[in-house]
Structure 1
Amino acid sequence: MKLLEENFIGKQKLRNRIVMPPMCMYMAEDGLVNDFHIAHYTTRALGGVGMIIVESTAVTPNGRISKNDLGLWNNKHINGLKRLTDNIKKYGAVAAVQLNHAGRKSEIANSLPVAPSAIYFSDKYPIPVSLSVDEIHEIIQSFQDAAVRAVEAGFDLIEIHGAHGYLIHEFLSPFSNTRTDEYGGTHENRVRLLKEVLLAVRSVLPKDFPVTVRLSAIDYLDDGLTIEDSVKTVQAVEALIDAVHVSTGGISGTFEKIQDYPAYQVQFAKAIKDAVALPVIAVGQIKNYDLAEAIIRLGNADLVAVGREIIRDPFWAYRLAKREGLDYPMPEGYLVAFNSK
């Protein structure tokens, strides 16, 4: 079964093609890992997934989506995350982290959100402050500093969040970016922040350390991102990344009309896969083994991210491996349960 084959992102080997995507748990305080995170992620590693991408982890305090996001803006976050990565890797999964700045979708109290342009996400959000060029450079530095801490915390891979309406996506989309300087207007200018973040992060990472990007391939808006835009974006940063994680939407809480159904985003993963020589991760309403296997077999993606189903069943991957007769490590007490009727 191709879903259970070993695979690589860059030089990082994964035991299979099953990815646990980043899903916000909103359980942290002051950005710190606690016992919930240890239990939550360790269980999924024990359950057999190939790679765990730890939830959106903020590079600045006001870059959090909520006050309960994890963080990497301070050295105090390193020890807890090191404990987390040690546990994930102990049970055979690759430990990845998604670095993010929430931009205009930040809901931190007593802090005005920032964005490329002073356009709100929806009428339930405040109008954000448009970033100056100097402030953009400070955020790039924050991504770089967080990457250094991520390595110290023991992560095997870093994903840069450029999707779901957060800051980098806000710069990429012509819907939310109406700037007229070097960070707005043309596609080349709109992709500049992502490229500069990747260059800054790459400059402080060990040789061959894998970096991926998550993108929203389309905005579901007439004046938003198209799949053609996103193909151009990936091509513009292809030399700086080792894989692309393809999602959609999230740029507007007022105007987007998204109709989801099983594997509804896979067509966009396929379009990007056809255009670049990079592994592609598909995600979105992928709930059963046969569907996940078909996505790989048909050449639509190289890896499959299974989110909500792995929340519901931490042993989703292990059950498949057992069905296929593969021997994944499992504590003896667990084997009794899985081997009995």
Structure 2
Amino acid sequence: MAPRLETPIQIGDLTVPNRLYRAPLLECAGNGPDAVDTLIADLEPAAASGAGLVCQGATLVRGPGGCAAPNMTYVDDPDFVADLSRLTDAIHDHDAKIAIQLEHGGLRSMETWHHGYRQANPDLQQLAVSRPPRPLRVLDRLGLLSYDPHVLSTEEVYELAADFGRSAAWASEAGYDMIHIAGANMGIVHQFLSPFYNQREDEFADGTRFLELIAAEIRDRCGDVPLLTKVPAESTAPPGVGPRLTDADAVGICERLEDAGFDALVPVTGSVIWDLSIIKGEYPGRAWDDEQFSEAYAAAFGGRLRKRLAAAATWLDSLLYEFEPAWNSGLCRQVRERVDIPVLAEGGIRTRGQIDEMLGSSCDMVGLGRPFYAEPRLPARLLNSDAETAVVCENCNNCTVPQVAGKPGICRTPAVLREAGRLRKAGAYDRPDSDS
């Protein structure tokens, strides 16, 4: 029989109390004096309402630079990471588990695309796997992006992997139950894996070797802490852009990572460039037109005209990447047929019925991301519910664009907020079996 969402699952030596998790999102908490409190406020409601696992969003293993968006959190300071024990304690108080996602942006960092950040940090270079591919160099010549890459030497690749290992060790000491490597969404790990970015001639021409090295570093420093990663297939890249990772390539990478000691995998489809392929849905017109963000958008993109060009590109993306329910389920199923470790699925999962269909066939655990912006206590509604239960998220993406301006990810769509408010007043987010 297929497992239910409420069924516990074993990941490595860790028992997770159920199969629902809050997927990694941008918390925009930074590293200031309120950072840990911000993270607690963002993440604890998911645990309090029943999520078995909460994933803290991408955090940077090395600074300065490397941030894909404003106000991301660095975990390269052991004193700061030690204070994150307040967060892990808050999650554990609800009998949930917590993972931290480790990241470096490489060529996707703010020093590439954020005009104001480049002006304030003129000496920052992007860490690069290889020379930027031709389409990105064209965008650089047109002035739409700005590249000043530092291509990592073989020795520097080993040093970067050691940074992942050190941050993982500090996180484990702070009480994190699991280490999640950001292996997709065009970060530097994805850039190693992708033939679009990786034209190296050393041992890391095989991009999976970098993930294997990270795993070895973490094992040396953390022992048997459960380790998982996203694995990308670039199957939704724009026509004619490549070379790229096929679904078959992604399945092969997953098989190797199981052999390398990873305890769980999150297969995802996407593109070779930063676009709406990872957050499929509608054009976020409300967010682009909101005057309270206009100055910050102009600062990010280098003026109001460039802001309008960025908005137009998002509109074109919305035509190319229409919302597809559970869009990664097919790839997850292919991987699950070839590995013997848990496969986690996320991306467009919106109803309890979809979850029940996927568990035991496409995946072993299910994660949701953007719906938590509107419903921070969403697990209380999904657990022990029927197939008709659906999230209130409308996939409009108005929650995501303001993050370009350094704003937190929250729902900003009135109709969605009204429905979430109605459910809250009706007690839909209460847990009758808990004091939370």
Shift of 1:225: 0.4
C-alpha distance in 2 between matches for 1:254 and 1:118: 21
* Corresponding position: 1:304 with 2:325: no
Q: Which runs of 5+ in 1 are unaligned?
A: 325-333
* Equivalent residues in 2 for 1:161-240, closer than 5 Å: 161-184=182-205, 189-206=206-223, 208-221=224-237, 222-239=242-259, 240=261
The AA in structure 1 aligned to 2:378 is: W
* Equivalent residues in 2 for 1:246-265, closer than 5 Å: 246-253=267-274, 258-265=321-328
Shift of 1:46: 0.6
Partner of 1:22: 24
Indicate how the Cα distance of structure 1 residues 32 and 115 shifts in structure 2: closer, same or farther if over 3 A, else same: farther
The AA in structure 2 aligned to 1:10 is: G
The AA in structure 2 aligned to 1:119 is: P
Give the % identical residues.
Answer: 27
Partner of 2:311: none
Q: Pick from 46, 58, 61 the counterpart of residue 59 of structure 1.
A: 61
The AA in structure 2 aligned to 1:170 is: Q
Q: Deviations over 1:73-123 (max 9, x none)?
A: 111222331111110111121111111111111115322211111216853
Partner of 1:103: 106
- Structure 1 length-normalised TM: 0.88
Q: Pick from 332, 340, 343 the counterpart of residue 277 of structure 1.
A: 340
Shift of 1:320: 3.1
C-alpha distance in 2 between matches for 1:260 and 1:277: 30
Q: RMSD in angstroms over aligned alpha carbons? A: 2.5
The AA in structure 1 aligned to 2:245 is: L
The AA in structure 2 aligned to 1:152 is: E
Shift of 1:309: 1.6
C-alpha distance in 2 between matches for 1:30 and 1:156: 24
Conserved in 2, the CA contact under 8 Å of 1:97 and 1:157?
yes
Partner of 1:138: 159
Partner of 2:393: none
Conserved in 2, the CA contact under 8 Å of 1:30 and 1:70?
no
Q: Which runs of 4+ in 1 moved over 6 A?
A: none
SS state of the match for residue 246, structure 1?
strand
The AA in structure 1 aligned to 2:327 is: Y
Shift of 1:337: 4.0
C-alpha distance in 2 between matches for 1:20 and 1:267: 21
Conserved in 1, the CA contact under 8 Å of 2:233 and 2:247?
yes
Partner of 1:321: 383
Conserved in 1, the CA contact under 8 Å of 2:250 and 2:267?
no
C-alpha distance in 2 between matches for 1:33 and 1:119: 34
The AA in structure 2 aligned to 1:36 is: T
Conserved in 1, the CA contact under 8 Å of 2:6 and 2:384?
no
Indicate how the Cα distance of structure 1 residues 175 and 323 shifts in structure 2: closer, same or farther if over 3 A, else same: closer
Q: Pick from 305, 310, 329 the counterpart of residue 266 of structure 1.
A: 329
Partner of 1:152: 173
SS state of the match for residue 162, structure 1?
coil
Conserved in 2, the CA contact under 8 Å of 1:165 and 1:249?
no
C-alpha distance in 2 between matches for 1:31 and 1:171: 34
Indicate how the Cα distance of structure 1 residues 275 and 259 shifts in structure 2: closer, same or farther if over 3 A, else same: farther
Q: Deviations over 1:125-169 (max 9, x none)?
A: 322321111221110110111011111111000011111110011
Conserved in 2, the CA contact under 8 Å of 1:248 and 1:265?
yes
Partner of 2:42: 40
Partner of 1:73: 76
C-alpha distance in 2 between matches for 1:32 and 1:141: 28
Conserved in 1, the CA contact under 8 Å of 2:66 and 2:110?
no
The AA in structure 2 aligned to 1:270 is: R
C-alpha distance in 2 between matches for 1:286 and 1:258: 16
C-alpha distance in 2 between matches for 1:323 and 1:258: 30
Conserved in 1, the CA contact under 8 Å of 2:47 and 2:54?
yes
SS state of the match for residue 5, structure 2?
helix
Conserved in 1, the CA contact under 8 Å of 2:46 and 2:377?
yes
The AA in structure 1 aligned to 2:28 is: Y
Partner of 2:13: 11
Conserved in 1, the CA contact under 8 Å of 2:31 and 2:74?
no
The AA in structure 1 aligned to 2:213 is: E
- Structure 2 length-normalised TM: 0.70
